[in-house]
Amino acid sequence: MTNRYLTGNYAPVDRELTESDLPVKGHIPRELEGRYLRNGPNPVEAPEPSTHHWFTGDGMVHGVRLRDGRAEWYRNRWVRSAQVAAALGEPIRPGPVHAEMDFAANTNVIGHAGRTLALVEAGPRPYELSYDLETIGPSDFDGSLDGGYSAHPKRDPVSGELHALSYFWGWGDRVRYTVTGTDGRVRRAVDVEVGGPVSIHDLSLTERYAVIYDLPVVFDMGAAAAGAAFPYRWDASYEARVGLLPRDGAGSDVRWFEIEPCYVFHALNAYDDGEEVVLDVVRHRRMFDTNVLGSDEGRPTLERWRVNIPAGKVIEERLDDRGQEFPRVDERVVGRPYRYGYTAAFVDEGNALIKHDLASGTSEIRRLPGNDGGSEAVFVPRVEDSAEDDGWMLSIVYDPVRDASDLLVLNAADFTGEPAAVVELPQRVPYGFHGNWIPD
Ligand SMILES: [Fe+2]
């Protein structure tokens, strides 16, 4: 049996490389000084194709360091969980593992408070990496993180603090909202009662609220007991709702609003608008219902939900019918009214990136090689106080001709034009999940 997540550019790579002074077409903007890092699943040992789930592969972080208009280095490193370290014949990195859930975090990688952190959800703790992507060990944020974390913290652009929503089946019907300070320590943790042992991938943040997506994908004890690699399933009987938790409120202060059943992995952005809260999300009609791999369950679409607080209602509107995911914004507009959003798309049977102008309701498409998977694009402002959309988009793109990947550097304001630079990486970067630009 073949498994699409083990073939083509989903297939894992089997080598860790360190290459310096990479070939570049065009000119890398001199303002870009730092690392573009991206995480994704890359099983260290060949999995059984009939049961392998994409979400459960060991994390591998790929990084490109840019400086002085040069691509100084590329390197890729597995995150050394105990199992990965053993497979590579290395000693275990000691550290605070939560609930014996030692997992090579595979979903996101961020910089915060001077640390580089590989992130995953559902119980395991983050793994801390060195600047050069070597594994330091599991992290509990200096003893301040009780339990696991999230793959999708949102940074408040004014305070610089990380807001996250964590879940773990062992917490029963509770999820946890945390605020992590600029010192890297959790300063606030609030437990919230939800409808069951739910899987919540992302949260939205506004200036007033943390937004909780309590949707019908829940932990299935039967599947877990039967040894399923991925034990979360669609539950048609589960009430789909979004919750507004005041950022300084208690768990009992959440107001819930019923919505049409669906699933949301990723929120594009959100903001307060008078008595309404605007939530822009990528909506999946179903998830892990007919297909536990999560594919073939309908096109994910870009939607705007207006939560009317006094009326207790949510008005759902579709912004874009095309299949798309991995939504990103300029991080300086998180939680605030904004204009531009960027998604990875599947359009006319090909890979693409879409830039949305939400003020004018228009969009631009940049087509990419291949037709089997996409890559997130990350916005980097040109300078600290440049306007929204004045900057670059970074994305790792697979080139089937070279059978290797490129780091694409686009001028965001010239989204479909000639790239500012294309950095040729020395190998494939398998389709994966999320990345970030971490300036030095
Ligand atoms: Fe994600």
Amino acid at 235: D
Confidence class for position 318, pLDDT limits 50, 70, 90: very high
**What's the 435 CA to ligand 1 centre distance in angstroms?**
10
Residue with tokens 């999820």: 175
pLDDT tens digits for 387-415?
Answer: 999 999 999 999 999 999 999 999 999 99
* H helix or E strand, kind and range, residue 86: helix 82-87
Task: Give the alpha-carbon dihedral of 205, 209, 213, 214, to 10 degrees.
Answer: 160
pLDDT tens digits for 103-125?
Answer: 999 999 999 999 999 999 999 99
Confidence class for position 295, pLDDT limits 50, 70, 90: low
pLDDT tens digits for 157-176?
Answer: 999 999 999 999 999 999 99
**What's the 265 CA to ligand 1 centre distance in angstroms?**
6
**What's the 202 CA to ligand 1 centre distance in angstroms?**
7
pLDDT of 291 higher than 80 = no
**What's the 410 CA to ligand 1 centre distance in angstroms?**
22
Of 180, 202, 241, 176, the closest CA to residue 328 belongs to 202
Q: What is the Cβ-side half-sphere exposure of residue 428, based on CA atoms within 13 angstroms?
A: 19
**What's the 326 CA to ligand 1 centre distance in angstroms?**
7
pLDDT tens digits for 17-33?
Answer: 999 999 999 999 999 99
Strand order in the sheet with 301-308: 263-273, 276-284, 301-308, 313-320
Q: What is the DSSP letter of 198?
A: B
**What's the 60 CA to ligand 1 centre distance in angstroms?**
15
Name 93's Cβ contacts closer than 8 Å, sequence gap at least 6: 80, 85, 135, 136, 137, 138
**What's the 267 CA to ligand 1 centre distance in angstroms?**
9
**What's the 107 CA to ligand 1 centre distance in angstroms?**
6
Q: pTM value?
A: 0.96
**What's the 266 CA to ligand 1 centre distance in angstroms?**
6
pLDDT of 293 higher than 80 = no
Do the beta carbons of residue 283 and residue 303 sit within 8 Å? Answer: yes
SS3 412: helix
pLDDT tens digits for 127-153?
Answer: 999 999 999 999 999 999 999 999 999
Do the beta carbons of residue 176 and residue 165 sit within 8 Å? Answer: yes
pLDDT at 261: 96
What is the rounded distance in angstroms from the CA atom of residue 368 to the CA atom of residue 429? 15
pLDDT at 228: 82
**What's the 150 CA to ligand 1 centre distance in angstroms?**
10
* H helix or E strand, kind and range, residue 302: strand 301-308
Name 238's Cβ contacts closer than 8 Å, sequence gap at least 6: 195, 196, 198, 215, 216, 218, 261
